[in-house]
Every structure is written in structure tokens, then in C-alpha cells.
């Protein structure tokens, strides 16, 4: 479709943040995610976590960015426990899981759907051959607790992006290691403006069918979650041509240092790619491939290793920031509070980012510590969906944040969430009951219909 056929030029990015669920806890479930591995067993505060997320959403809404919200999932996932052979009443299923397999119980209680950067990969309509917005829920097969997400994620996305004339939904890829897919966390769209033709940078950690070749570099310590084959399949589903895509291998040393997704070491927006020197195995080749395909000059903002070590990149989550476009052409970087607490990172923000020759004119600090302790920064908490005005008008449900919705969600959290959740509390049948009551009420607030297993019968 060309620009004349498409009258709608008012494309804007809507950030759909995941609302933190009532069972938010620290279970140490994610191998290769240093924060999750080191905080397992801590007492979590689900109420504070959800309110921190809502405060970030509100601050961005107040600054005139478009903000959406995606609901949490049904946890504990008693259906998953039953599938694993735990039988009897809900109480008995929980008690047996707590006794026999506490780590499985923790997994089925994880509120990990809050990290909506892993919910799906999205291709905006200006790039798709059929002029629709395309969605593929990520299969998240690399960990059991996250593999539980895509079924509900698919229903939620289909409920909100319901209009088939404008939105296309693809099935999650086969949930097997060859097609291991972690969604938008490994996908960056680069374009002049949001409504211009974009180039899609897919970053993968390993090649599934490349074994046998001695030369393929691979991480040694931690798993590579995304495969090249998965990224290629998503691009194929969305109808992206070779001229619109770049597939780049993530640096294995970065994965071994705790960079389990590309969005822990790079972030792009418009023509800007902010990245760490160690983000890509072939840095020069990746930039060259982007430049060849982009219709507007790429603006690389490179942070060298001597300015920020991999360890500091991982502990501060500098790159897990939201890079947002402003009407005057400048950009705002939303960083987690941990960046301010790290002297070399904070100096880099001042010297390389704010003082550098790039469009980043402002840095905003947000406290999302509850999520950060599980390895989820500001960028993990949101799914970016570029939409034209008509597409925004076609959204179903009440998912675009305004003051009224923010107020209702805040009151809902305050009514239903605990302020203390230790691993041993997860077996409490009252927690499961509280969660169902809360989620039923939430689907009413968001007007998204029945999306949860307990509502589907």
C-alpha cells in the first residue's frame, strides 16, 4: 500500500505496559537473568510493584505519550499443576505442589506476564504488505513459567486488537527449542518517523539448525533464548521482505554476562539505535546492513565498553530504557532508578547521551525496583505498538490510559493486592481465591470480555 492509498498519516507509538499481577514474587526462575537468579527467595511486595508500574504509566501519559495497559494473567495456574499430575481440590493441588515440587509451584505463580516486551512481536501497518498490524505472541518456550503465558496473551491481544480489517493475529511459533521466541525484546523497528517505512532488526542468540558447524560462536555459561529460525519465521508470518529485515547475532559474551534479551543492551527508536559496543557479534556488519536498507540515515549512539562495563550495563539496565519521540523531533530516554545509583553509568548518561550529537534531549528516571529485582526494567514492562489514528480508534476494550482509568486501576490494586509475598505464601489457597476475584473485576474495568481460563470454563 502506498501513502496515497493510506490517508492516515497520524501514526503514534502506544506503549502497552503489563499490569503487575497480585502474585508477583521472587522465585529465582530465570537462568541467565542475573537479577532473578540473585533475588530468588526475597519477600516481594506485589502492591508496590503494581503501583510502581502504574506510576510509570501515569507519568508518561501526563507527558503526552500514548499509554496502554495489558492485564496480568491468571496465577497460580492451577490448570498447569493439574496437567502435571496434581489432582483433587484446588486446596489439595496447591498443598501437594508446595510439598512435592515447590519450584513448580513458584513457576505457576509467577507474575512474569508483566514484561510485555516478551508478549509478542508486532509489525505496524506501514510495513506489512496487507496494510494491517501484525501480531505473533512469543512462545516463551525457554522457561516453564513463561511458556504458560502465550495462550492467554493471544486471547488478550485478539480481544483488544479485534478488528480483523486492521489487525492480523498469527499463532505462536511451535514451542520447541528450534523456534525459541522471546518477542519484541529481540526486535527493534528503525524508521524515519513512526508512520514511515521501517526496517526490522531481529537479534538472535543462536542458530538452531547451524550445529555441526564448528565455527558458530555460542555462549558458554547461560542459554541463548532467541533463535535465528524463530526470528525468520516471525518475519515471514508478517510478510516482511528481505529488504525490510536485518538478522543480527547477539554477542555471546554479552549473553554470558547476563544479557538474556537484546533489550538489555540496545534500544532503538525512529532512526536512533542506542547500543553497547558488545551488543552484536558483528557490529560493523549489523550497522551496514541497517544503513543499506533504511531510507533515512541511521543515527547510531554507541556506548563503548570503557564507558560502561557489561556488568554495569546489566546491573543498571541503562539500555532497558524507553526511547520516546517528542513532537519537536527530540527524544526522551526513560531509565530505571538504578542508572542514577551507578556513577559510571550516570556519567555516561550526561556525557555520551545528553551532551552527545544525537536527538536524546531528556532523561527521565523511574523507580520500578520491584520489577528490576526480577530483571525487568522500563523497556521490559511495555509492548510497543505503532498505530495510526484509525487503528487507535478501532481498539476494543478500555485499555488506553486516562486519568479515570488510572484512578480505577490504582484503587483496584489497593483493594486487592497484598503488600508482602514470601515464597511460602504461594501455597495459601486464599491467595488463589483473592486473585480470581481481582481478575474478574479487572476484566470488567478493562471491558475486554472473557480472557481468563476461569472465565472460559
List residues near ligand SUG by CB under 6 A. 26-30, 33, 36, 40, 110, 112, 115, 117-118, 146, 185, 260-261, 263-264, 374-376, 380
Judged by beta carbon, residue 25 or residue 125, the one nearer ligand SUG is 25
Q: Dig out the grid coordinates for 433 from the structure.
A: 481465591
Question: Measured from the CB atom, is 44 or 405 closer to ligand SUG?
Answer: 44
At closest approach, how far in Å is the CB of 417 from ligand SUG? 17
Taking the complex as a whole, how short is the minimal distance between the CB of residue 226 and ligand SUG, in angstroms? 11
**Strand, helix or coil for residue 21:** coil
Cβ atoms within 10 A of the Cβ of 334, count?
25
Smallest separation, CB 444 to ligand SUG (Å): 28
Contact by Cβ (8 Å): 377, 347: no
For Cα atoms 5, 8, 13, give the angle at the middle one, nearest 5 degrees.
130
Q: Which position among 238, 261, 352, 416 bears the catalytic label?
A: 261
Active-site choice (48, 182, 229, 338): 182
- Cα–Cα dist 329/296, whole Å: 14
Closer CB to ligand SUG, 133 or 372, in the complex: 372
Choose, from 149, 187, 229, 380, the residue flagged as catalytic.
380
CB 226 within 8 A of CB 203: yes
Rounded to a whole number of angstroms, the minimum distance from the CB of residue 184 to ligand SUG is: 8
Query: Which residue, among 432, 429, 380, has the nearest Cα to 74 in the 3D structure?
Result: 432
Q: 117 or 235: whose CB is closer to ligand SUG?
A: 117
DSSP for 184-247 reads GGGEEEEESSTTS-EEEEEEESB-STTTT-TT----SSS----BHHHHHHHHHHTT--GGGEEE
Nearest CA to 107 among 91, 138, 137, 84?
A: 84
Instruction: CB nearer to ligand SUG: give 109 or 294.
Output: 109
Shortest distance, position 373 Cβ to ligand SUG, whole Å: 9
Residue 274 three-state SS: strand
What minimum distance in Å lies between the beta carbon of 129 and ligand SUG? 28
**CB of 23 or CB of 125, closer to ligand SUG:** 23
Beta strand spans in 89-179 (E): 120-123, 133-137, 167-169
User: Residue 380 catalytic?
Assistant: yes
What residues pair up with 18 in beta bridges, in sequence order? 70
Q: Which residues are catalytic?
A: 182, 261, 380
Amino acid at each position: 500500500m502506498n501513502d496515497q492509498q493510506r490517508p492516515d498519516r497520524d501514526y503514534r507509538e502506544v506503549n502497552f505496559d503489563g499490569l503487575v499481577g497480585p502474585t508477583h514474587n521472587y522465585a529465582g526462575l530465570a537462568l541467565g537473568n542475573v537479577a532473578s537468579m540473585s533475588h530468588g527467595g526475597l519477600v516481594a511486595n506485589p502492591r508496590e510493584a503494581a503501583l510502581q508500574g502504574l506510576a510509570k504509566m501515569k507519568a508518561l501519559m501526563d507527558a503526552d505519550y500514548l499509554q496502554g495497559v495489558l492485564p496480568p494473567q491468571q496465577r497460580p495456574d492451577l490448570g498447569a499443576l493439574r496437567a502435571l499430575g496434581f489432582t483433587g481440590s484446588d486446596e489439595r493441588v496447591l498443598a501437594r505442589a508446595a510439598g512435592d515440587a515447590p519450584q513448580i509451584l513458584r513457576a505457576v505463580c509467577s507474575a512474569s506476564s508483566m514484561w510485555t516486551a516478551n508478549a509478542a512481536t508486532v509489525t505496524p501497518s506501514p510495513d506489512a504488505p496487507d496494510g494491517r498490524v501484525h501480531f505473533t505472541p512469543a512462545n516463551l518456550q525457554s522457561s516453564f513459567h513463561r511458556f504458560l503465558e502465550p495462550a492467554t496473551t493471544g486471547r488478550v491481544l485478539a480481544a483488544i486488537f479485534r478488528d480483523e480489517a486492521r489487525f492480523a493475529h498469527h499463532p505462536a511459533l511451535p514451542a520447541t527449542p528450534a523456534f525459541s521466541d522471546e518477542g519484541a525484546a529481540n526486535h527493534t523497528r528503525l524508521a524515519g518517523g513512526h508512520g514511515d517505512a521501517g526496517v526490522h532488526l531481529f537479534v538472535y542468540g543462536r542458530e538452531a539448525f547451524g550445529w555441526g558447524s564448528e565455527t558458530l560462536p555460542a555462549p558458554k555459561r547461560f542459554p541463548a533464548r532467541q533463535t535465528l529460525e524463530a526470528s525468520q519465521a516471525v518475519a515471514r508470518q508478517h510478510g516482511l521482505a528481505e529488504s525490510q529485515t536485518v538478522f543480527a547475532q547477539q554477542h555471546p559474551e554479552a549473553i554470558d554476562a547476563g544479557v538474556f534479551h537484546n533489550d538489555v543492551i540496545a534500544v532503538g527508536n525512529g532512526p536512533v539505535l542506542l547500543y553497547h559496543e558488545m551488543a552484536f557479534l558483528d557490529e560493523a556488519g549489523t550497522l551496514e546492513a541497517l544503513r543499506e536498507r533504511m531510507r533515512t540515515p541511521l543515527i547510531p549512539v554507541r556506548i563503548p565498553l570503557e564507558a560502561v562495563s557489561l556488568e554495569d550495563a546489566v546491573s543498571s539496565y541503562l539500555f532497558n530504557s524507553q526511547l520516546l519521540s517528542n513532537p519537536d523531533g527530540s527524544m526522551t530516554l526513560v531509565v530505571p532508578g538504578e542508572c542514577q545509583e551507578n556513577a559510571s553509568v550516570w556519567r555516561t548518561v550526561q556525557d555520551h547521551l545528553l551532551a552527545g550529537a544525537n536527538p536524546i534531549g531528556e532523561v527521565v528516571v523511574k523507580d520500578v525496583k520491584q520489577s528490576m529485582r526480577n530483571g525487568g526494567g522500563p523497556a521490559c514492562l511495555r509492548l510497543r505498538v505503532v498505530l495510526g489514528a484509525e487503528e487507535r480508534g478501532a481498539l476494543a476494550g478500555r485499555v488506553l490510559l486516562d486519568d479515570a482509568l488510572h484512578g480505577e486501576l490504582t484503587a483496584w490494586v489497593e483493594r486487592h493486592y497484598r503488600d508482602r509475598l514470601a515464597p511460602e505464601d504461594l501455597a495459601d489457597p486464599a491467595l488463589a481465591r483473592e486473585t480470581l476475584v481481582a481478575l474478574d473485576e479487572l476484566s470488567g474495568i478493562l471491558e475486554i470480555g472473557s480472557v481468563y481460563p476461569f472465565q472460559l470454563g
